[in-house]
A = this chain, B = another copy of it.
């Protein structure tokens, strides 16, 4: 298991160098930077935007198209009542604490985490260990942003070190009160002011707004795309011709008003979510009919019990074994964990930097009964990129209860079900006039009685012709019911239809976090090991690369222009994204720029092209070039971008071309 952030080639990752390159190449940039920026908001420039679109496109193919999911596009604006019912108004909050002296506001769990880590590092230093800032293997990302003196070389007792480490291993499991106790117990102080912050208070993470001109309707920007899918459940079931199980899916922006976002693309206030709501019958063990296709896939799993014991060492299991041993609760949950793994693999995530971590009880969202996160290892530690929660029947149940809408499945029973039970039969014509305004209350009380109680009442009623019930809400708390009004009998009936509220398994993808992790995993530095100046390369797989082919004319002479234009058009017709660089920079510079952009292939048009129509094709990672006719090269590009051939295949087929990348002068 990795413990230090590294590049694709195992070099230590210099995050500053990478970030500066990503911003220079406009993968992303702080929003409103000329106005000083707003923390937690970022814009994607052309390469970031294309990378995001390619990840989303692959996601859509891997999940939605592969399994005929029903994609929907619901609104971000959501009225208060919906999010009140779903529990978000009351419970979708983080704990924040305030420094009463400076007015600074901290997210309480991050504050505790940071100070404890400073102390642990100070202890290591005091013991003469070299402290590697990047060498973090803890469940959550680091910020290292508290201003003030921070880490000092202070020796800690072994028992204290152990206590701190155990606290950190379950940092996500504390509620506000417990975080407040930790602050007091460990005397955690804001380095900037030297005082303990005030006790944590809940801060709701939703952005509020008013809908309509009179300001009467309180609304929020949705914190997840899920609610729109739940509210449309009955319509989707109908669209799916009443067939179960099925999944809906949605890709869209969601919003969380983070208390103090300071981790670049990893903690933002506006982000793209891709969510699946898989609706499944809660009976029958939540089997999945395609589970056999994935059961041999190995996953790295860090379960709840391991974390609660203060450890962070995961184990590797096939998903088949994990479900069999009940490490993972059921097949459907297991199926999606494996599918998530395959998706991350497909887009080029480093396989040694993925793990699945189970949520602890207090850490889970209010709607979840179980949850596993796919975490990717980055310079900020392990980062939650995909959540896979079992929301049980929570959401459909609360919305149905609130609105009266039947968010249920009606299923014809193959063998009808015979039900024998004590039932109450009320003669409403007489019952109403007798009890007048109390009629409803008495009726409700009668219908709520248990089977045992009904059996007893039936006997009494037959014996005495009348019984007295305890009914809260009527005059003296009693109601006398006689046998001319009510019959209580043991009856038998047959049910042909079963009604149930489906359970929901929800894989939820934070596209921005995946995108950033992918950048770190695919980045490396060319020439860093030799004597040359290091040059950045991002080795995207072709499918996600923002641009697949760079077209480089060696000269800006007029005779090159129609060739460049023709090649562009042919690539466009093949559906291959290309860009022309006809600037006056050297060929080497132009390729370097595109190595930083992660462009996998380059075609050079040189003087030989003008005479014989041949062009060269360069592969980014090896910088090897081959030369052939334009048609052959186009064929090779198509095979490479579709993934039907590898670069090794092409090298075996076409003659290698020798050139001196950096020295060819232009103009």
Q: Is A81 positioned at the interface, with any CB of B under 8 Å from its CB?
A: yes
Contact partners of A2 in chain B: CB under 8 A:
none
Contact with B along A229-243 (1 / 0, CB 8 A): 001100110110100
Given that A45-B235, A208-B209 are contacting pairs, would A31 and B74 also be in contact in the complex, using a CB cutoff of 8 Å? yes
Count of identical protomers in the assembly: 2
The distance in angstroms between the C-alpha atoms of A76 and B68, with both chains bound, is 31
Q: Is A583 positioned at the interface, with any CB of B under 8 Å from its CB?
A: yes
The distance in angstroms between the C-alpha atoms of A542 and B83, with both chains bound, is 39
Task: Pick from A32-40, A373-381, A609-617 the stretch touching chain B.
Answer: A32-40
Task: Pick from A254-262, A328-336, A423-431, A482-490 the stretch touching chain B.
Answer: A254-262
The distance in angstroms between the C-alpha atoms of A105 and B38, with both chains bound, is 35
Q: Is A73 positioned at the interface, with any CB of B under 8 Å from its CB?
A: yes
CB distance from A34 to the nearest CB of B (A): 4
Q: Contact at A72–B96, with CB atoms within 8 Å?
A: no
Contact with B along A454-496 (1 / 0, CB 8 A): 0000000000000000000000000000000000000000000
Q: Contact at A232–B77, with CB atoms within 8 Å?
A: no
Contact with B along A366-408 (1 / 0, CB 8 A): 0000000000000000000000000000000001001101010
Interface residues on A, range: 35 or more
Task: Tell me which of B48, B207, B214 contacts A210 (CB under 8 A).
Answer: B207
Given that A213-B203, A232-B29, A239-B45 are contacting pairs, would A52 and B77 also be in contact in the complex, using a CB cutoff of 8 Å? no
Q: Is A87 positioned at the interface, with any CB of B under 8 Å from its CB?
A: no
Q: Is A577 positioned at the interface, with any CB of B under 8 Å from its CB?
A: yes
CB distance from A112 to the nearest CB of B (A): 17
CB distance from A27 to the nearest CB of B (A): 11
Q: Is A46 positioned at the interface, with any CB of B under 8 Å from its CB?
A: yes
Q: Is A298 positioned at the interface, with any CB of B under 8 Å from its CB?
A: no
Contact partners of A255 in chain B: CB under 8 A:
77
Task: Tell me which of B65, B211, B236, B407 contacts A269 (CB under 8 A).
Answer: B211
The distance in angstroms between the C-alpha atoms of A211 and B261, with both chains bound, is 11
Given that A43-B74, A235-B29, A572-B65 are contacting pairs, would A209 and B211 also be in contact in the complex, using a CB cutoff of 8 Å? no
Interface positions of A from 481 to 519, Cβ below 8 Å from B: none
CB distance from A104 to the nearest CB of B (A): 10
The distance in angstroms between the C-alpha atoms of A65 and B25, with both chains bound, is 19
The distance in angstroms between the C-alpha atoms of A260 and B50, with both chains bound, is 37
- A104 closest partner in B (C-beta): B214
Contact with B along A249-293 (1 / 0, CB 8 A): 000110101011000000001100000000000000000000000
Q: Contact at A43–B72, with CB atoms within 8 Å?
A: yes
The distance in angstroms between the C-alpha atoms of A29 and B405, with both chains bound, is 16
The distance in angstroms between the C-alpha atoms of A49 and B580, with both chains bound, is 34
- A61 closest partner in B (C-beta): B572
- A219 closest partner in B (C-beta): B38
Contact partners of A260 in chain B: CB under 8 A:
213
Contact partners of A269 in chain B: CB under 8 A:
77, 211
Contact with B along A565-582 (1 / 0, CB 8 A): 000000010000101110
> What are 5 A-B residue pairs whose CB atoms fall within 8 Å in the complex?
A44-B74, A65-B577, A66-B572, A75-B270, A207-B210
Please report A residues at the B interface, Cβ cutoff 8 Å: 25-26, 29, 31-35, 38-39, 41-46, 48-50, 52-53, 65-66, 68, 70-79, 81-82, 96, 103, 105, 203, 207-214, 217, 219, 221, 228, 231-232, 235-236, 238-239, 241, 252-253, 255, 257, 259-260, 269-270, 399, 402-403, 405, 407, 572, 577, 579-581, 583
Give 8 nearest A-B pairs by CB, closest first: A34-B405, A44-B73, A43-B74, A34-B403, A207-B209, A46-B70, A41-B75, A49-B71
